[in-house]
Amino acid sequence: MKIDYTPQLDFNSVLIRPKRTTISSRSQVDLERTFSFPNTNVTWTGVPIISANMDTTGTFEVYDVLSKFKMITCFNKFYDLNDFQERMENNPLNPDYFMISSGINESNFDNLCEIVNVTNAKWICIDVANGYMRDVVTFCAKVRSVFPNCIIVAGNVATREMVEELILNGKVDVVKCGIGPGSACLTRRKTGVGVPQLSTIIECADGAHGCEGMIIGDGGITCPGDLAKAFGGGADFVMIGGQFAGHDENPGEIQDIDGKKFKLFYGMSSEHAMKKHYGKMANYRSSEGRVVKVPYKGALDVTVRDYLGGLRSACAYINAHKIKHMPKCTTFLVVNQQLNTHFEK
């Protein structure tokens, strides 16, 4: 047993220190980035924000909104080949702005191959809760051998050594980082395992960039300020789940409870998700996700514009003309309180 006394930071542990700036308008900030990748010759340009591959946020309807902003939707792994064929016939998808998700068993691999070929997908996301398993690295390398021209994402992990392992030996390009920070995730409560998300991003980004790879900061975003902190900490992409839930474009009926409107949002390791997709929860598992009633928010594009506006404003405060400049322009201040919440009580 070892104890690491190094302070570990979450988004609510810090604020970003402002500095003198030459930016006179938020409109001068460029939020698009262009990436090239370590294990494929493909390049990508867009706004590096991703909707999580959950039932409620990784959908065609969410894609239709986010793609207009050049943002990515990671489709949930329960869309089948017929779903994609029907969508491609009626309204083709732009390969720059969606990911195909997969687990790591053999049937997942066969399904992945069929869907990638039908959709001409540019992005593949190999998604498991525990990215530390040896089988994940083996599966990633197998996918790379079949799809040398796809950008491969894999995770989730929360430490440097596994980021490096996935990039170097799994031949992935981008590692999805975050163990337990999501609003619908109970992993930390059920297992005691995790790393605070800002420290995860700082450590994992440093490891990935040393291998010429990238990371996705996955989870823990509660407001536009958290998004700015994630990019300031070195995340190349940020994945958002709960904050992109509760809108017209998310599936599910609006529930009226005591005069207030809600929509359901739930973790993919929750008992609710297991029963929905597999008929039951296996008796060797614990439910590591919760079901959340998210206040109804209206149109998704309003939320997206709010987040992008906050991100541009953060850049203006720290003289980051481009989103890629944010880590070099960011100084974090460790704080005991972020804001005055008197009137929120």
pLDDT digits (tens, 9 = 90+) for 208-239: 999 999 999 999 999 999 999 999 999 999 99
What are the two backbone dihedrals, phi and then psi, of residue 35, each rounded to the nearest 5 degrees?
Answer: -115, 145
Q: How confident is the model at residue 249 (pLDDT cuts 50, 70, 90)?
A: very high
The superfamily CATH assigns to domain 11-252+300-333 is Aldolase class I (3.20.20.70)
Q: What is the pLDDT, as a whole number, of residue 185?
A: 83
Q: Which residues are catalytic?
A: 185, 187
- Residues 284 and 262: their CA atoms lie apart, in Å, by 32
Ranges of each domain in the chain: 11-252+300-333
Those residues with Cβ within 8 angstroms of residue 28's Cβ, 6 or more apart along the chain or in another chain: 316, 321
Distances (CA, A) of 107 to 20, 22, 103, 104, 112: 55, 54, 9, 8, 8
User: What is the model's pLDDT at position 341?
Assistant: 87
* CB 174, CB 213: distance < 8 Å: yes
pLDDT (mean) for 257-286: 65
**Pairing outcome for strands 237-240 and 214-218:** parallel
Confidence class for position 293, pLDDT limits 50, 70, 90:
confident
List for the chain the helix, strand, coil content (%; round to 5).
Answer: 40, 20, 40
pLDDT tens across 176-200, in order?
A: 999 999 888 888 888 999 999 999 9
pLDDT the model gives residue 186: 84
Residue 274 has pLDDT above 90, yes or no: no
Angle subtended by helix axes 134-146 and 160-168, to nearest 10: 30
Q: Which of 234, 196, 243 is nearest to 215 (CA)?
A: 234
Please state the rounded mean pLDDT for residues 7-21.
97
Give the residue among 124, 188, 125 at the shortest CA–CA distance from 155: 125
Least Cα distance to 197 among 242, 254, 155, 159 occurs for 159
Closest CA to 40 of 106, 139, 123: 123
Token pair for 146: 């079949």
For range 27-47, the mean pLDDT:
97
Q: How high is the pLDDT of residue 319?
A: 98
Q: Which of 68-72, 86-90, 264-268, 316-320 has the lowest mean pLDDT?
A: 264-268
Q: Which residues is 291 bridged to in the sheet?
A: 266
Q: Indicate the pTM of the whole model.
A: 0.93
